[in-house]
Amino acid sequence: MRQCTHCGSRFSNDARFCPYDGEPTRDATPRGADAFIGTILAGRYRIESILGEGGMGIVYRAVHVELDKRVAVKMLRADMANDETVAKRFVQEAKALSRIVHAHIVEVFDFGRTEDGLAYFVMEYLEGRSLREALRENDLSAREILRVARAMAEGLGAAHAAGIIHRDLKPDNVQLVQRDDDRCYVKILDFGVAKVAGVSRLTRNGAVFGTPHYMSPEQAQGHPV
């Protein structure tokens, strides 16, 4: 089994490139127990469990041992560490998030590297459900849907003001969390393929990034966005 390093789609073992976005695939054979679970990262983050996996990184639930504070740690996949473009894009995601200060964008607290050189960054821990899950459950009122749309627009506006274009906004990358009496408080996630103003290009000309169902026409055609 192979998996696209960008969109996460899975294919047979003979598929070396994703037919949807042209990115390379990686071995997606199920692994054994994760070596980081139960360890203390950088002397302060105790890794507890895996929250999710993507093409570039693995997200762990962790606790800051001194502050007793729940956090999320996103770490570059070991099998992608030797891919220079993927490694640079991972670091760029952390930098992009650190440049955006807004209530509806996930916050980054820290960045570092493991003893083996794997990059990681630490984010606020969000307990809730994705917008995709909420839409599937079909339990949002019209008023809540309007609030979610407005919050997403405000968060993206802050990103654009900071010179950052997400390029892969979709229901999976929007988390709805409970804040006071609001069960649909928006947090936008995953800036892994974001375009950052003033940063060297990591995308070759004509390359297409994003998820087909949610791309703008110009993005789907490989034009600048």
Asked if pLDDT for residue 112 goes beyond 90, the answer is yes
Domain covering 129-220 in this structure, CATH number: 1.10.510.10
Q: Are 195 and 153 in contact (CB under 8 A)?
A: no
Distance CA 39, CA 48 (A): 8
Predicted local distance difference test score (pLDDT) of residue 101: 94
pLDDT tens readout for residues 21-37: 667 777 765 454 588 99
pTM: 0.77
Is 139 labeled as catalytic in the residue annotation? no
Given the residues 79, 116, 139, 168, the one annotated as active site: 168
Question: Which contacts (CB < 8 Å, 24+ apart) does range 59-66 have?
Answer: 60/36, 61/125, 62/122, 65/40
Which stretch of 72-76, 130-134, 169-173, 201-205 has the lowest confidence by average pLDDT? 201-205
Please tell me the total number of residues recorded for the chain in this structure. 225
pLDDT tens readout for residues 137-156: 999 999 999 999 999 999 99
Of 11, 18, 17, 14, nearest in space to 211 by CA:
18
Which stretch of 44-58, 171-185, 204-218 has the lowest confidence by average pLDDT? 204-218
What are the boundaries of each domain within the chain?
1-30, 33-124, 129-220
Domain covering 33-124 in this structure, CATH number: 3.30.200.20
Q: Are 85 and 109 in contact (CB under 8 A)?
A: no
